[in-house]
Amino acid sequence: MSGIIDIVYAEYNYWIYVTLMMIGFYAMIAKKNLIKKIIGANIFQTAIFLFYISLSDITDGTAPILVGEHGAEHAEHAADVIYTNPVPHCLILTAIVVAVSTTAVALALIIRIYQEYGSLEEDVILAARRELQPEFSEHARQKSVAEVGEQ
């Protein structure tokens, strides 16, 4: 029993990220509101960021900035300092910027959709779209598939 607790405690950070990711994933696929979908996508991305950053952590490690370059007071310890892993930090800095860009473009698209359809609910938008463009409706699509099949 204590073995299981030890295993869970050593990897509790992964449980947190999986939970966060599930929250974001659920918001993305179950919510009908487009803004809520974007919020879900952002929670999902944050879970991935935290996962990578926690992979880079080392117990008793310091930030990956070289010690002993700015003054003499810490220079004698410079040899035996443990640095955390700098590579995931760099990757996630890239990923955060891409996340900001995708969120901005998604919000701009949502504003345009709201201007066109007057709603942010997925059902309302799809219904309005079927009325405006009947060729996109399910019935018409099946009919055209049937026609192609007859030929």
Partner 1 sequence: MKTLALFVVVITGAMLIYAGQDLPAFGDINSPSYQAPMTQYFIENSRTESGVTNIVTALLASYRGYDTLGETAVIFTAGMAVILLLRRRER
Partner 2 sequence: MSRIQESVIIRTVVRIMVPFIQLFALYVIMHGASGPGGGFQGGVIFGAAIILYAMIYGIAEGKKKMSDALDKILASTGLTIFAATGLACIVCGGMFLQYHAVPLLPDPAKVSRYLIDLVEIGIGITVLAVMISLFFDISPPESEPEEAEE
List residues near partner 2 by CB under 8 A.
63, 65, 69-70, 93, 96-97, 104, 107-108, 111
Q: Interface with partner 1 by CB under 8 A: which range of 11-19, 124-132, 133-141, 142-150?
A: 11-19
- Buried-state track 105-140, b at ≥16 Cβ within 10 A, e below 16: ebeeebeeeeeebeebeeeebeeeeeeeeeeeeeee
**Burial status of residue 25 (CB atoms within 10 A of its CB: 0-12, 13-18, 19 or more):** middle
Q: What residues contact 29, with CB distance under 8 A and at least 6 apart?
A: none
Q: Interface with partner 1 by CB under 8 A: which range of 50-58, 131-139, 140-148?
A: 50-58
CB of 10 to partner 1, least distance (A): 4
Q: List residues binding partner 1 (CB under 8 A).
A: 7, 10-15, 18-19, 21-22, 25-26, 29-30, 54-59, 61, 64-66, 69-70, 82-83, 85-90, 93-94, 97-98, 100-102, 104-105, 108-109, 111-112, 115
